[in-house]
Structure 1
Amino acid sequence: MAAVLVVNAGSSSLKLSVLDDDDRVLAQRHLERWDGSGGVAEFLADAPPVAAVGHRVVHGGPDFPGPAVLDAGTRERIERLTDLAPLHQPRALAGVDAVTEHLPDVPQVACFDTSFHHTMPGFAATYAVPREWRDWGLRRYGFHGLSHAYASRRAVDLAGGSLVVTCHLGAGCSLAAVRDGRSVDTTMGFTPLSGLVMATRSGDVDPGLLVWLLRHGKVDPEQLEDGLEHRSGLLGLAGSADLRDIHRAGTPEAALAVDVFVHRLRQGIAAMAASLGGMDLLVFTGGVGEHDAEVRARTAAGLGFLGVELDAGRNADRSGDQRVSTEDARVGVWVVEAREDVEIARGVRHALTA
């Protein structure tokens, strides 16, 4: 297959890239602030011809265990899942529509962040809630699957091993427990709100807390959603959603925010290792995972009992995909560049040649 255009539409950003058969980037553009309009046509004006297009779609619900060729029916099924990922799903569909307008004859494929986690066993995916709630589709889906799939496979290719805990740390944060290339557990659930502390999302909170807020009229459902999605996490703790700013701030609130972030991250990694029954590799990826040496060092410092030990020099002066643990550490700790584009292109080729 010739070149593939990858469209990665985030909640507020747009990443466009063209990859050849060897996953070399032929052209790329990253819009940090994207409102769902523009960007695609301008990129395509100078980009090389493409044979297919792959889109990152955050939520595939129960119906998409793998990449799906896009047509009117597939688009409609994706749109029906919007209330499960209200920040992301509309932007993905905006990307689909923009490509359809400018490349109407080029096949498009949706690649879902939830698909990788379809292999989780029932006991990991099931909530202990009333049966009728489960019949409504309430279960743990997991997210960031494209990133977890690539990072775990890349680390195994570099270092070997079969039990991998991947840490996708960016504006959104999640962990995955991966055994022999298959997800067996993850920290996100029915929506991308649960699990770790994130930039503006709360991660796990006591459900009773939410009931209390609603019952006592402190917030209405819209305010509750806004608070959990947009005003919590690091922003709620420190007044900034960017860990770089928080590290520099030097305030008690900033120190607490980092402490909470790292505490929950260490807890989550230990839980993922328990789900695997051990850990061969611990992998950091995503903007924070790749570039925040302090977070990696502080996280690892609390995981020595699992066999995690960082090499301070490697951790501080990292370049490319690199091992940052000591040579004799029982668990290999790696930093891997996030390459969702490679995983999406791989999914496109599979979907169109299967």
Structure 2
Amino acid sequence: MSNILIINSGSSSLKFKLINMPGEKVLASGVVERIGLKESLIFYESGSIYVSKKTNIPNHSSGLKEATRLLMDYHTGVIKNQDDIAAIGHRVVHGGDLFYDTCLVDKKVKEQIKNLFSLAPLHNPPNLTGIEVAEEIFPNTRQIAVFDTAFHKTIPLKARKYAIPNKFFEEHKIELYGFHGISHKYVSQQAIEYINKPNSKIISIHLGNGCSMTAVKNGESIDHSLGFGPNNGLIMGTRSGDIDQSVIFFLIDKLGYSSQEANQILNKQSGMLGLTGNSDLRDIEDRAYEGDESCKLALEMNAYRIKKYIGAYAAIMNGLDAIIFTAGIGENSSKIRELVCKDMEFAGIELDNDVNEMGSDEIREINKPESKVKILVIPTNEELEIAKQCYQFIQ
């Protein structure tokens, strides 16, 4: 039996979970939310112990140190010292063409993760920070990296390759890599078991501060909304998603922005933040309920983009058995689910609005009984998926 500490550093959050493997028993878990915003939130749970507080967490390093303090604290902790941890598993967003499997972190791996910063500017930096802080706090513990891009290695060449000169694919490996693979893999496997159909056609919709969709056919990823970097596809918290590339040239050539400034705009100043002034959907939904027109429009735009991808992925799979809503927004925003599923009866998608409003921590159907397509809300569990891969690695 081994204790595996999972560290999942997102763009504005840090999840952590201590899991005893192979029994999959969660000893403690928590999340630091709204990192870098005015008022950060910390939640921690271990058995009957529950901690919830607001504080200032300026960066991911501070967040991870606070999480570790809770794990080792006399009153709230579940471990006495570093030796109680067999391995620390880290979610790393972008593995480029170098990492398609779980690997032990060493100096070379960290350098390669850093070299991929430009492809995942909101995620690889905090991912690496998580590794470096964990090395500092747990110097004798094995650090293991699990890559979000790995699940998408089954995407066929016709979907993976861009219509640009071949040399950029052959010499520079410019292609669709895909992200959120740990989450999409976990929830799609859960869905396959739930509907009891291995040869299934599923669309996994991961909605958080970062958002993506995956077409999963027979358990394998065959297309994905994010691409070479994590800024394509859906409208996200601070990222634009799909945009005419001419806009980028206009920003640089006509408006005088540098390429770095244009990248900053599209990655950190766009999306829901650019449309409303807020990146947190909870704030946006509250303002929309109060009548804010910019927030109403932003929610409609968000759902509209998701609908387009549902139609596209149903087409390439020649049918659809289920759609999955997962991650923070997908699991908790009944409003987004309602807007996405509205007027989708032609595709066999019929939402039960009453059931949609009900909350649950378990997998659940929110479709009408007569709906041809199952509409599933499945809590993602990237940490458990990472723990499984880490435990297999250290055996």
- Give the TM-score of the pair, scaled to structure 1: 0.95
Question: Alignment partner of 1:168: what SS?
Answer: strand
1:157 to 189, 193, 200: 193
Matched, 1:69 2:104: yes
Partner of 1:184: 222
Partner of 1:36: 60
Partner of 1:9: 9
Aligned counterparts, 1:168-317, within 5 A: 168-249=206-287, 250-317=291-358
**Matched-pair contact (CA < 8 Å) for 2:28–2:71:** no
- For 1:243 and 1:100, how far apart are their aligned partners in 2? 34
Partner of 1:166: 204
Q: Deviations over 1:19-64 (max 9, x none)?
A: 1223232112322225132434424423432221110001000111
Stretches (4+) displaced over 3 A: none
Q: Which amino acid aligns with 1:293?
A: S
- Number of paired residues? 353
Give the Å deviation of 1:229: 1.0
Larger displacement relative to structure 2 (181-190 or 44-53): 44-53
Q: Deviations over 1:292-313 (max 9, x none)?
A: 1111112112322211111122
- For 1:70 and 1:154, how far apart are their aligned partners in 2? 29
- For 1:76 and 1:223, how far apart are their aligned partners in 2? 25
Give the Å deviation of 1:181: 1.7
Question: Alignment partner of 1:20: what SS?
Answer: strand
Larger displacement relative to structure 2 (159-168 or 238-247): 238-247
Partner of 2:24: 23
Partner of 2:120: 85
Partner of 1:346: 388
**Matched-pair contact (CA < 8 Å) for 1:56–1:113:** yes
Give the Å deviation of 1:180: 1.9
**Matched-pair contact (CA < 8 Å) for 2:184–2:204:** yes
CA 1:12–1:316: 2 relative to 1, 3 Å: closer
- For 1:247 and 1:43, how far apart are their aligned partners in 2? 32
Question: Alignment partner of 2:2: what SS?
Answer: coil
Q: Which amino acid aligns with 2:61?
A: S
Q: Deviations over 1:190-225 (max 9, x none)?
A: 111000011111001001111122111342212211
Matched, 1:55 2:78: no
Larger displacement relative to structure 2 (297-306 or 32-41): 32-41
Question: Alignment partner of 1:183: what SS?
Answer: strand
Question: Alignment partner of 1:3: what SS?
Answer: strand
User: Whose relative contact order is higher, 1 or 2, with alpha carbons under 8 Å and at least 6 apart?
Assistant: 1
Give the Å deviation of 1:165: 0.5
Partner of 1:132: 167
Q: Unpaired runs of 5+ in structure 2?
A: 36-56
- For 1:3 and 1:258, how far apart are their aligned partners in 2? 41
- For 1:73 and 1:218, how far apart are their aligned partners in 2? 37
Q: Deviations over 1:113-146 (max 9, x none)?
A: 1111111001111000112222212111111111
Partner of 1:104: 139
**Matched-pair contact (CA < 8 Å) for 1:29–1:43:** no
Give the Å deviation of 1:2: 1.3
**Matched-pair contact (CA < 8 Å) for 2:12–2:209:** no
Larger displacement relative to structure 2 (2-11 or 27-36): 27-36
- For 2:246 and 2:356, how far apart are their aligned partners in 1? 40
**Matched-pair contact (CA < 8 Å) for 1:69–1:352:** no
- For 2:95 and 2:70, how far apart are their aligned partners in 1? 27
Over the matched positions of the two proteins, sequence identity in percent amounts to 37
- Give the TM-score of the pair, scaled to structure 2: 0.86
Give the Å deviation of 1:172: 0.7
Larger displacement relative to structure 2 (213-222 or 258-267): 213-222
**Matched-pair contact (CA < 8 Å) for 1:66–1:116:** no
Q: Unpaired runs of 5+ in structure 1?
A: none
1:123 to 148, 155, 158: 158
Question: Alignment partner of 2:323: what SS?
Answer: strand
Question: Alignment partner of 1:30: what SS?
Answer: strand
**Matched-pair contact (CA < 8 Å) for 1:175–1:272:** no
